[in-house]
C-alpha cells in the first residue's frame, strides 16, 4: 500500500495498488504540485479524515497523498486519477491556472480568479473545479487579524494566481478599494484587464511595487503579500512596513518552519497586527475537504468543525508550536 508520507510520482499512479479485498480501488485524495515534497496537506487531511470517520464510517477508507506531477504530465495524470478512484485533488504551483482547461465545470469564483485549486470527481468521469483560496483568506483575516475587508482598503502585493484570489475576495467582501502592486507592468496590466468584468465599480487599481502610493491609503489599510518573496531566508521584505500607520494589518501568504516570516516579524516589530499563511492553508484545505465529502458522500461537514484538527496536524508536521486556526 502507498504511504501518505512519501512523495509519489506519475509512475506510482500508473501502478496504483490501493485496493480493497475485492480488488476495487479504495477512495483516495491527493495534492499535486511541482515541487510538492514540502507539503503538509497529507497530515492535515488525514488527521481530519480519521476524526470524521468516527462519526461517518463511509469515510474510513479515504486517504490523502501527495504527488510530484510535472506540468507536461498533468492532463494525462488527471485521467488516471479518475480511473484509480481519486475522489478529489488539490492543486498547487504550477497547476492552478492551466488546470482550468481540463475541468468539465468551474465555479463562478474559479472563473473570476482564473484558477482552480480543488477538483471534485464527477460521476460522468470528469472533474468539477473550485477555488477555496478566497475562503481561506477570508477566514484567516477574520480569525487571526480580526478584520473584514468590507469598506476597507486592501493592498495586494503580486499579480499571480494568489493575488487574483486575494482581489476576488476583496471584491466579494465589498472592499472600498483594492490596490494591486507589481514590478512587471505587463503582468499587472493583464491581471487588471482580466478582473474588469468582475469589477463594475472599478475598485481595483494598480501601482508600481517599487513606488507604492502610500499617501493614498488610509491608516487602517490591510496589506496582503501574495508573492513568494519571503520563502527564502535571504529574501528582501516585499514591502517596507515602516511606511504604514499603526492601525494597518499585514497578512503574509508565505509561511515557514522557523516561525514567523521576515515580513510578519518586521510588521510586528513596527507594532502592527500580522500573521502568516499557515492559517490560510488550513482553511482552504478544510473547505476543499468539505466540498469533496458533500459532493461524493452527501455528508455536510462545516470547515469550522475540522479546521483546528488540521491546524494541529500542520503545526506538528512543521515542528511549530500549537496555534489556533
| Cα–Cα distance, 324 to 49 (Å, whole number) | 19
Query: How do residues 238-266 score in pLDDT, each as one tens digit?
Result: 999 999 999 999 999 999 888 899 999 99
| Cα–Cα distance, 218 to 99 (Å, whole number) | 38
To the query of whether residue 96 is one of the catalytic residues in this protein, the response is yes
CB 152 within 8 A of CB 122: no
pLDDT at 232 over 80: no
| Cα–Cα distance, 39 to 36 (Å, whole number) | 5
CA dihedral (292, 293, 296, 299) in degrees, to 10, reads -150
Contacts of 43 (CB under 8 A, 6+ apart): 4, 313, 314, 316, 317
The pLDDT, as a whole number, for residue 291 is: 97
The pLDDT, as a whole number, for residue 142 is: 97
DSSP symbol at 67: E
Sign of the Cα pseudo-torsion (95, 99, 100, 106, in order): negative
pLDDT at 230 over 80: no
The pLDDT, as a whole number, for residue 228 is: 81
Sign of the Cα pseudo-torsion (73, 78, 79, 85, in order): positive
Report the SS3 class of residue 9.
strand
Where does the pLDDT of residue 235 fall: very low under 50, low under 70, confident under 90, or very high at 90 and above? confident
Q: In angstroms, how far is CA 190 from the centroid of its own chain? A: 22
Residue range 194-209: mean pLDDT, rounded: 92
Query: Which of these is catalytic: 66, 87, 96, 203?
Result: 96
Where does the pLDDT of residue 25 fall: very low under 50, low under 70, confident under 90, or very high at 90 and above? very high
CB 212 within 8 A of CB 158: no
Phi, psi of 218 (to 5 degrees): -70, 170
DSSP symbol at 216: G
Residue range 13-28: mean pLDDT, rounded: 96
pTM (2 d.p.): 0.94
Phi, psi of 87 (to 5 degrees): -80, -30
CB 2 within 8 A of CB 8: yes
Q: How far is CA 163 from CA 25, 141, 168, 196, in A?
A: 38, 15, 9, 15
| Cα–Cα distance, 13 to 2 (Å, whole number) | 10
Where does the pLDDT of residue 229 fall: very low under 50, low under 70, confident under 90, or very high at 90 and above? confident
Query: How do residues 35-53 score in pLDDT, each as one tens digit?
Result: 999 999 999 999 999 999 9
Q: Which residue has the cell 488550513?
A: 282
Domains and CATH numbers, the chain: 7-131+281-318 (3.40.50.10860), 134-276 (3.40.50.720)
Amino acid at each position: 500500500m502507498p504511504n501518505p508520507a512519501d512523495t509519489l510520482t506519475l509512475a506510482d499512479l500508473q501502478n496504483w495498488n490501493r485496493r480493497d479485498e475485492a480488488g476495487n480501488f479504495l477512495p483516495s485524495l491527493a495534492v499535486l504540485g511541482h515541487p510538492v515534497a514540502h507539503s503538509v496537506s497529507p497530515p492535515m487531511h488525514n488527521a481530519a479524515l480519521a476524526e470524521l470517520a468516527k462519526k461517518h464510517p463511509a469515510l474510513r477508507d479515504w486517504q490523502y497523498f501527495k504527488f510530484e506531477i510535472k506540468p507536461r504530465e498533468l492532463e494525462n495524470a488527471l485521467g488516471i486519477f479518475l480511473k484509480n478512484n481519486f475522489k478529489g485533488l488539490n492543486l498547487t504551483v504550477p497547476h492552478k491556472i492551466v488546470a482550468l482547461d481540463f475541468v468539465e465545470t468551474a465555479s463562478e469564483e474559479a472563473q473570476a480568479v482564473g484558477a482552480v485549486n480543488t477538483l471534485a470527481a464527477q460521476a460522468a468521469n470528469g472533474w468539477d473545479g473550485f477555488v477555496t483560496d478566497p475562503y481561506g483568506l477570508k477566514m484567516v483575516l477574520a480569525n487571526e487579524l480580526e478584520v473584514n475587508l468590507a469598506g476597507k482598503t486592501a493592498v495586494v502585493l503580486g499579480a499571480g494566481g494568489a493575488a487574483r484570489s486575494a482581489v476576488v475576495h476583496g471584491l466579494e467582501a465589498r472592499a472600498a478599494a483594492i490596490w494591486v502592486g507589481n514590478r512587471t507592468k505587463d503582468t499587472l496590466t493583464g491581471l487588471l484587464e482580466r478582473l474588469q468584468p468582475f469589477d463594475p465599480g472599478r475598485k481595483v487599481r494598480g501601482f508600481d511595487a517599487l513606488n507604492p502610493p502610500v499617501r493614498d491609503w488610509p491608516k487602517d489599510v490591510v496589506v496582503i503579500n501574495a508573492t513568494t518573496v519571503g520563502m527564502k531566508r535571504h529574501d528582501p521584505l516585499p514591502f517596507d512596513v515602516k511606511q504604514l500607520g499603526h492601525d494597518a494589518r499585514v497578512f503574509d501568504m508565505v509561511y515557514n518552519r522557523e516561525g514567523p516570516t521576515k515580513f510578519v516579524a518586521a510588521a510586528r516589530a513596527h507594532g502592527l497586527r500580522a500573521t502568516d499563511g499557515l492559517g490560510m492553508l488550513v482553511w482552504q484545505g478544510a473547505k476543499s475537504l468539505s466540498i469533496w465529502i458533500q459532493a461524493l458522500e452527501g455528508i455536510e461537514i462545516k470547515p469550522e468543525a475540522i479546521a483546528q484538527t488540521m491546524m494541529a496536524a500542520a503545526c506538528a508536521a512543521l515542528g511549530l508550536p500549537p496555534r489556533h486556526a
